[in-house]
Structure 1
Amino acid sequence: MTQPTQPTQPTSTTSTTSPIRVLLVDDQPLVRAGLRVLMADSPDLAVVGEAGTGTDAVRLAGDLRPDVVVMDVRMPGMDGIEATRLVTAGPGAPRVLVLTTFDDDEYVYGALRSGASGFLVKDMALDDILAAIRVVAAGDALIAPAVTRRLIEEFAARPEPGPAPAAARSRPLTGVTPREREVLTLVGRGLSNGEIAVRLHISAATAKAHVARLLAKLDARDRVQLVVLAYETGLVP
């Protein structure tokens, strides 16, 4: 069973900001080691534990209370999708970044529905991986057009078998204005606030305000959940 590592302390003795606590989950030790070494040079990030299975990830997430879990998808036993669902289930749950490759596309919608806040592609630039961790730790979601737009458009429109997704697609968006519906549709297509502003001929600040109101009205935790909702309610075919 994987044992938690000791937290990495910030190198600066004058910093008053606690580092972002990260749990690394991957069944390949070399992948975890590479990420751990990478984060060791970043005083604002601290690896507090590692796990090689989904079961260990759920246990360590509960024991260590990390801010962010970097979660692999394909692991023996419990996979990263089920582990993500369990890790994000409770109040005050950590944010989850799912590790994927373009060969893992079929897992993306499952990860979205399970509460993931974004995706990392394993061959992306190391600096981008660190930036992604910081983004979700700050409460945002990683909707990187180069990564998720293709994945979301191809797979989020494939609801799981059964009546629930069909019912969700017929559910009205109560209290959402026509302009907010337009914004939600564009969020569902993977557009950033800046791109939404250009498309709707509004300022970036106004686009951001519309997104914030949608998060509040729809009780969505982050932008990823808005994407899922846009597909489930049929705004994005």
Structure 2
Amino acid sequence: MDTAEQQPISVLLVEDYRLIRMGLKSVLDSTPGITVVAESTNGEQGVERVKEMKPDVTLMDIGLPGIDGIEATRQIKAFDPELKVVMLTSHDSEDEVLASLSAGANAFCLKDIEDKILVHVVETVHQGGLWIDPKIAKIAMQIFQMPEAMASSQSGPNAQETYKLSPRESEILQHIVNGRSNSEIAADLNISVHTVKAQVSQVLEKLAVCDRVQAAVKAVKENLVVH
């Protein structure tokens, strides 16, 4: 029996408000397959805990004392781009959305998120997917909407030729932007997860980005995909 697949998703909570932290912990610890392994109350401590424990997913509040959640996320991603960070906020600020995605956050959620959706976000991010709260998805699209003339000059095949993306790599990129995990992409395209991982790596290399979040942001900004 493969015990590796039975390991629960380890989660680190970085939130300075005790009641919110307790609520998040209660929801996640009561979910089979997810366990909260540590808690932090400020950005500096959160970064250190991540480096020590390397949790599968970190839930990061933006408005933290000391360094904020955005800077903490930036430091975590600089340490290891593969570590997953879910950003939590009480505000649907354009600046926060842009800064969070630019820092490398894998998901952006409002704190009024439903319990079952929070669990879905943690599972999605752990599997390699991206997630943006539907309430702020339009804001994210507006942020990355380029002037019409520039978009038309860089859209479709021309942009793909610039990065020399093959048809399959363009398809993979579309799935990345749609927030699909490696296993979901593999099922959609009827290929192995190993092949998906290899093709995702090729896409990241050709786009000159470090992770899937940066690839998705670049794809939307430069009209490489349908969105």
TM-score computed with the length of structure 1 as normaliser: 0.69
Q: Distance in 1 between matches of 2:71 and 2:164?
A: 32
Q: Unpaired runs of 5+ in structure 2?
A: 147-158, 181-186
Name the structure 2 match of 1:44.
33
Q: Tell me how far 1:105 sits from its aligned partner.
A: 3.0
Q: Tell me how far 1:233 sits from its aligned partner.
A: 3.4
2:103 to 114, 120, 139: 114
2:140 to 149, 152, 174: 152
Name the structure 1 match of 2:77.
88
Q: Distance in 2 between matches of 1:58 and 1:157?
A: 32
For these two proteins, the number of residue pairs brought into alignment is 201
Q: Distance in 1 between matches of 2:220 and 2:93?
A: 20
The structure-2 alpha-carbon separation of the partners of 1:85 and 1:157, relative to structure 1 and needing over 3 Å to count, comes to: farther
Name the structure 2 match of 1:205.
189
Matches within 5 A, 1:177-188: 177=166, 184=173
Q: Distance in 2 between matches of 1:15 and 1:223?
A: 24
Q: Distance in 1 between matches of 2:218 and 2:188?
A: 22
Matches within 5 A, 1:167-178: 173-177=162-166
Contact kept, 8 Å, 2:60 with 2:88, in 1: the verdict is: yes
Contact kept, 8 Å, 1:171 with 1:233, in 2: the verdict is: no
The structure-2 alpha-carbon separation of the partners of 1:60 and 1:132, relative to structure 1 and needing over 3 Å to count, comes to: same
Contact kept, 8 Å, 2:92 with 2:110, in 1: the verdict is: no
User: Is 1:73–2:62 an aligned residue pair?
Assistant: yes
| Equivalent residue letter for 1:74 | G
Q: Distance in 2 between matches of 1:15 and 1:87?
A: 25
The structure-2 alpha-carbon separation of the partners of 1:16 and 1:235, relative to structure 1 and needing over 3 Å to count, comes to: closer
Q: Tell me how far 1:102 sits from its aligned partner.
A: 4.0
The structure-2 alpha-carbon separation of the partners of 1:217 and 1:94, relative to structure 1 and needing over 3 Å to count, comes to: closer
Q: Distance in 2 between matches of 1:187 and 1:151?
A: 20
Identical-residue share of aligned pairs (%): 31
Contact kept, 8 Å, 1:26 with 1:32, in 2: the verdict is: yes
Q: Tell me how far 1:235 sits from its aligned partner.
A: 4.4
1:62 to 51, 69, 86: 51
Higher relative helix content: 2
Matches within 5 A, 1:30-41: 30-41=19-30
Contact kept, 8 Å, 1:99 with 1:122, in 2: the verdict is: yes
Q: Please state whether the residue corresponding to 2:22 is helix, strand or coil.
A: helix
Contact kept, 8 Å, 2:85 with 2:105, in 1: the verdict is: yes
Q: Distance in 2 between matches of 1:192 and 1:57?
A: 26
Q: Tell me how far 1:152 sits from its aligned partner.
A: 1.3
1:226 to 181, 196, 215: 215
What RMSD, in angstroms, separates the aligned Cα atoms of the two structures? 3.6
Contact kept, 8 Å, 2:107 with 2:130, in 1: the verdict is: yes
Contact kept, 8 Å, 1:215 with 1:226, in 2: the verdict is: no
The structure-2 alpha-carbon separation of the partners of 1:38 and 1:214, relative to structure 1 and needing over 3 Å to count, comes to: closer
Q: Please state whether the residue corresponding to 1:97 is helix, strand or coil.
A: strand
Q: Distance in 2 between matches of 1:171 and 1:15?
A: 38
The structure-2 alpha-carbon separation of the partners of 1:172 and 1:24, relative to structure 1 and needing over 3 Å to count, comes to: farther
Q: Unpaired runs of 5+ in structure 1?
A: 1-13, 159-169, 194-202
| Equivalent residue letter for 1:57 | G
